């Protein structure tokens, strides 16, 4: 059975998970900061978090690897595409489009897309899954 990714929790959900481990919910702030501000990739890298809590968290939860990012810049119009590839092989694309006086960003919350816009490579994939918070 796969352990849940601890980075998927909101701060409030993290506090509840920590309390369920027999610890004070106030410890969630330090853990949350390690995960989301410092970007730790392992439980052992959580500085300022008590070793006992780190051990409990590591037994029950995982920290998924960050997605692989490929950056492509169009030679035609300068459009910047970021292709994110996740651990399960799912991909998502974000695009920065430059117009005469504006800059627009398309940030995907899904792998694939159900809309099927003809100008969009992601739309051609069809909807694969929603992305998680991390």
pLDDT tens digits along 54-106: 999 999 999 988 888 899 999 998 999 998 888 888 888 888 989 889 999 98
Tens-digit pLDDT profile for residues 14-38: 999 999 999 999 999 999 999 999 9
Q: Helix or strand or coil: residue 83?
A: strand
26, 62 in Cβ contact below 8 A?
no
Q: Return the structure tokens found at 52.
A: 């006992």
Lowest mean pLDDT among 9-18, 88-97, 107-116: 107-116
Q: Which helix (H) or strand (E) holds 103?
A: strand 103-106
d(CA 60, CA 48): 20
Domains defined along the chain, listed by start? 6-60 (1.10.150.530), 68-130 (no CATH)
- pLDDT for res 65: 83
53, 6 in Cβ contact below 8 A?
no
49, 27 in Cβ contact below 8 A?
yes
Q: Which helix (H) or strand (E) holds 81?
A: strand 80-85
Work out the number of other CB atoms within 10 angstroms of the CB of residue 11.
14
Beta bridge partners, 72, equal 81
Which band of pLDDT confidence, cut at 50, 70 and 90, is reported for residue 133?
low
Check whether 50 has a pLDDT greater than 80. Answer: yes
């Amino acid at each position: 059975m796969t352990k849940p990714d601890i980075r998927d929790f909101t701060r409030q959900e993290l506090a509840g998970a920590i309390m369920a481990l027999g610890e004070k919910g106030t410890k969630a702030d330090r853990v949350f900061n390690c995960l989301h501000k410092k970007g730790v990739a392992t439980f052992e890298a959580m500085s300022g978090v008590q070793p006992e809590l780190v051990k409990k968290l590591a037994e029950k939860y995982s920290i998924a690897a960050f997605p692989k990012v490929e950056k492509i810049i169009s030679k035609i119009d300068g459009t910047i595409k970021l292709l994110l590839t996740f651990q399960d092989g799912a991909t998502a694309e974000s695009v920065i489009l430059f117009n005469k006086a504006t800059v627009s960003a398309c940030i995907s919350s899904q792998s694939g897309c159900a809309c099927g816009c003809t100008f969009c490579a992601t739309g051609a994939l069809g909807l694969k899954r929603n992305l998680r918070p991390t």
